[in-house]
Structure 1
Amino acid sequence: MSQTVRLRSKTISIIIVLLLLAVLLSRVASATPPSDEFIRGYAMALMQRDFKITEASLKVRDGIIYIQGLNASDADQDRIQSSLSSIEGVKQVEFSKGEKLSSSEEQPEITPRVNVFLPRGLLFKPLLADPRWPQFSASYQRYLRNSRLASVGSATFGESFSIYRFGGPVSSQMEVGIQAGVFSIFDLDAESLDLVNADYFVAVPLSFRKDNFSALARVFHQSSHLGDEFLLRGQTRERINLSYEGFDTILSYALPLGFRIYGGGGYLFDLDPSDLKPWLTQTGLEFRSPHTWRNGSLRPVAAIDIQNREESNWDTDVSARAGVQLENPDFLSRKLQILIEYYNGSSPNGQFYLEDIESIGIGLHFFYN
């Protein structure tokens, strides 16, 4: 136990270094602000692709975006303002409710798309450092001081989809969706790159968003399966058929300067093994730089996710990641993150949930929303 405490005490300094590195990269990136023409093009593409808005008049002067003729609810207007403010070089976003455009430019009024089947995007953004957030990713992990594994390949196949979006209370938006993912690890030191463990996850989330506040509540199922090659090696004394259902809730708030905080908890039921303790908590901090490099194509990011589980006597599981996010103004919903990754805590890999692990690695993470 003392060794575990000593190992986990190192994570605070690692987290600070990762966050400081991301902020430093952001400061360097902001040295050469983009032109008004670049901001206007980026903003128009974002409004068209993420908000389905094509008729409003948009001008940029000295880094200030002026929008006229936008017929949208206060909630949609706040979302647009928050999204456009994240563009590199934008100082302010102003909306004008004055006269309509001249007759030669006049367009039909815009109706906010509130009740939508299969809408674009997600009301609740992905948790960047959560080891079990459904996404497409591939990473190399080096396990430290582990007698079972050393070089590990991690592959994740999954995604979150919004099924139906509708208006909620207090001018908010809500949506029902689906999440699904497969989380697998491979022993890269084995001759045949043996599959060690695969976790299968599916959830039905209900999301809520009002201005900078968002929330997610979901019911989920997870089951774990050992790889056949790994079983034949006889390295596990007893096979644990880990499986459970559960529900959790996460609250999130977007802060200035690209920061985001979140926190919540959950409860597991229909447990196998039946003596698995059910309660868990989750908190985190994320940083998505408001500044970018190379005309909006590179954005520094960093995140830390902290989980505590009753099963592990409320010991802290820490996941920290930092790196860059690759973006394309023409495909704003698609993002590729290249991240340095660190994990210290109870293993998130099914069969081995009773073991403590520490790892460092590098990964590619794809997001399509």
Structure 2
Amino acid sequence: MPAGSLKIRLWRPGSRAGASFAPALLFLAPALCGSLSAQTHGATRDPISDRNGHPFRTPAGSPLEPAHRIAFYRSVRDSVRDGIALADIGDRLQFWIRRDPDGSVEWAGAIHGGAFSRFDLAGPDQSLIEVHYRIGALLRARLGALAARAEIYHVSSHLGDEFLLDTGTEPISTSREGLEVLVQGSPLSGLTIYGGPGLLLRSSRDLERVSFRAGADWESSRLAHARLYASLELFGWAELGWEPALAAEVGAALGRGTKIGFGLGFGPSRAEQFFRKSERLLGLSISHVR
């Protein structure tokens, strides 16, 4: 595609991309309906607990966290401008919690997983570019005003067949397992901050092992049936010389975990197959995180 041009076309009925988007839309629709119909009055949630009362609130604006998400972005990579769509499906299952009698210490277990897909809206068939999968086992804890999460995770990725045929790109295996530990706190009303290190335990290639992630989520007090929100996350990896990948988003939270906002990203790509390429993203995102 010539630099400086951008063609964004929504999928056509019966196209392969439309069939690929359908599962994500089906998963996201109930979340949207549930949020819009949820009660919007009541007690404010604990800033370091999720809405089910388990310690450590999932960073809602993080592109690394499994979530139900549909996003349309303008992407700039290597001076080429493209229209892309993200269609993610992800959720978590909380299966155990233990609280001390005084309530100051909590322990909880969970698993989560998701598929993160990227589509080419500028191509004739809006074909799949890349999909990667993340599954993790979580141990979460709370001690007073601080929460923490340790995750053992697996990530693997694949390029779309049509993308390989059209571009001649050589697929890169990024299968890996790792450990990440995040600590979370709420220094101000409505503001949650988090951060911590990651360590690769095994990878299909010889990659540097250490990474670091930090971020912040903010929500306003309730305005009518919604809240304003903003999120910011930075991710750095020794493999990339600690060049930061930034993801930011602002918009409206519609109740029980659903958000609509404008997203911005730049730095190394969060698409696993292109993690050595820098890109800039700007567009609209609709997401639901439990």
- TM-score normalized by structure 1? 0.63
1:335 to 245, 254, 257: 257
CA apart distance, 1:337: 0.3
Q: Percent sequence identity over matched residues?
A: 27
Distance of aligned partners of 1:309 and 1:149 in 2 relative to their CA distance in 1, 3 Å threshold = same
2:66 equivalent in structure 1: 134
1:39-83 CA deviation, whole Å, 9 max, x = no partner? xx933xx5xxxxxxxxxxxxxxxxxxxxxxxxxxxxxxxxxxx63
Distance of aligned partners of 1:300 and 1:363 in 2 relative to their CA distance in 1, 3 Å threshold = same
1:325 to 253, 266, 280: 253
2:279 equivalent in structure 1: 357
Query: Is the Cα contact below 8 Å between 2:54 and 2:97 reproduced in 1?
Result: no
- How far apart, CA to CA, are the structure 1 residues paired with 2:181 and 2:107? 14
Output the amino acid matched with 1:268: L
CA apart distance, 1:145: 5.0
Output the amino acid matched with 1:326: L
CA apart distance, 1:220: 0.3
1:312 to 240, 243, 253: 240
- How far apart, CA to CA, are the structure 2 residues paired with 1:366 and 1:354? 28
2:41 equivalent in structure 1: 42
Consecutive aligned runs of 4 or more in structure 1 exceeding 6 Å deviation: none
- How far apart, CA to CA, are the structure 1 residues paired with 2:105 and 2:112? 22
Query: Is the Cα contact below 8 Å between 2:185 and 2:192 reproduced in 1?
Result: yes
Q: Which moved more, 1:183-192 or 1:209-218?
A: 209-218
1:150 to 72, 82, 97: 82
Output the amino acid matched with 2:214: T
Structure number with higher strand proportion? 2
Distance of aligned partners of 1:204 and 1:145 in 2 relative to their CA distance in 1, 3 Å threshold = closer
Distance of aligned partners of 1:133 and 1:288 in 2 relative to their CA distance in 1, 3 Å threshold = same
Query: Is the Cα contact below 8 Å between 1:139 and 1:154 reproduced in 2?
Result: yes
- How far apart, CA to CA, are the structure 2 residues paired with 1:157 and 1:148? 28
Distance of aligned partners of 1:84 and 1:261 in 2 relative to their CA distance in 1, 3 Å threshold = closer
2:210 equivalent in structure 1: 279
Query: Is the Cα contact below 8 Å between 2:267 and 2:279 reproduced in 1?
Result: yes
Q: Which runs of 5+ in 1 are unaligned?
A: 1-40, 47-81, 86-118, 328-333
**1:150 aligned counterpart, secondary structure:** strand
1:251-276 CA deviation, whole Å, 9 max, x = no partner? 00012231111110110122112x21
**1:83 aligned counterpart, secondary structure:** coil
CA apart distance, 1:350: 1.4
Query: Is the Cα contact below 8 Å between 1:132 and 1:183 reproduced in 2?
Result: no
Q: Which runs of 5+ in 2 are unaligned?
A: 1-39
Q: Which has the higher contact order (CA 8 A, sep 6+)?
A: 2
Output the amino acid matched with 2:267: G
1:240-259 mapped onto 2 (5 Å cutoff):
240-259=172-191
Query: Is the Cα contact below 8 Å between 1:293 and 1:299 reproduced in 2?
Result: yes
Output the amino acid matched with 2:93: F
1:270 equivalent in structure 2: 202
- How far apart, CA to CA, are the structure 1 residues paired with 2:86 and 2:54? 25
CA apart distance, 1:235: 4.1
- How far apart, CA to CA, are the structure 1 residues paired with 2:161 and 2:101? 50
